[in-house]
Amino acid sequence: MTQLEQITQYMQTALASDNSGHSADHIDRVVALANKILINEPMADPFIVRAAALLHDVYDDKLFNNASDVQLAKSHLKTFLSNISVSQDDISRIFYIIDNMSWSKGIGGQAQHLDINGQIVQDADRLEAVGAIAITRAITYGAVKNRILYDPAIPPRIAQNKAEYRNDDSTTINHFYEKLLLIKDRLNTETAKKIATSRHQFMLDFLAQFKAEWDLTK
């Protein structure tokens, strides 16, 4: 088995029980999107991009109940990568991308610089939050977290820090205004910006239709 095949198996086991929209099918699409972007980015390192894309949610704090479980998952992953002979340098590059690519990390001007490899993985993951599947992921996430679907009396609020961003008082429809609709202007690569255009429009159409149906009784 190649290293990437072993990493794929590791990821599938780690995410097997996820029900919040970060399951293996999400990862498959992030890898596919990263591969599409890679075609136009000759300076990138395909191994680093694919490894980080495969592993980017394995120790995500949304999947764990507390910080010590996140640290445990992280050190488990580090041992695994060493055991399959990924170099220490590559391990550091993969972890740096995973630790600095997330949306929540970028809130309040906290974003660290990503090189082209990190920019590709970030774009691929962000594109998963734009479009038709993104709509279903947001609704699934909201349901799992017991969030309100929609309440026109609760206005969207752009978070200034991670705690505000994770606040459960907001609604799933607000999440579109608080994150999903902002993504098209926060992408790094031209390839990703092109892919985002029709996906973004689809979400606008969805929101217009949703509100028209909601207001039917008024």
Site for ligand ADP in 32-91 (CB under 6 A): 60, 62
Q: How far is the CB of 106 from ligand ADP (least distance, A)?
A: 8
Q: Does 175 help bind ligand ADP (rule: CB under 6 A)?
A: yes
Instruction: Answer with the entry of ligand ADP, Ni ion, none that 104 interacts with (C-beta below 5 to 8 A by kind).
Output: ligand ADP
What kind and span of H or E run contains 161?
A: none
Place of tokens 């907001």: 170
Q: Does 179 help bind ligand ADP (rule: CB under 6 A)?
A: yes
Q: Does 188 help bind ligand ADP (rule: CB under 6 A)?
A: no
Structure tokens at 98: 């995973």
Q: Are 97 and 56 in contact (CB under 8 A)?
A: yes
Q: Does 141 help bind ligand ADP (rule: CB under 6 A)?
A: yes
**How far from chain centre, in Å, is Cα 125?**
4
Question: Of 9-17, 27-35, 77-85, 139-147, which part binds ligand ADP (CB under 6 A)?
Answer: 139-147
Which CB sits closer to Ni ion, 21 or 41?
21
- Half-sphere exposure in the Cβ direction for 66 (13 Å, CA): 1
The DSSP secondary structure of 40-75, one letter per residue, reads: T-TTS-HHHHHHHHHHTTTT-GGG-SSHHHHHHHHH
Q: Does 203 help bind ligand ADP (rule: CB under 6 A)?
A: no
**Residue ranges in contact with Ni ion by CB under 5 A:** 57, 125
Q: Does 138 help bind ligand ADP (rule: CB under 6 A)?
A: yes
Task: Burial-class residue 6 by CB neighbours within 10 Å (0-12, 13-18, 19+).
Answer: middle
Q: How far is the CB of 169 from ligand ADP (least distance, A)?
A: 10
Which CB sits closer to ligand ADP, 102 or 191?
102
Instruction: Answer with the entry of Ni ion, ligand ADP, none that 191 interacts with (C-beta below 5 to 8 A by kind).
Output: none
* Whole-number Å distance between alpha carbons of 142 and 58: 20
Q: Does 30 help bind ligand ADP (rule: CB under 6 A)?
A: no
Position 199, amino acid:
R
* Angle, helix 190-214 to helix 132-144, in steps of 10 degrees: 60
Residues that bind ligand ADP (CB under 6 A): 21, 60, 62, 102-104, 129, 134, 137-138, 141-142, 147, 172, 175, 179
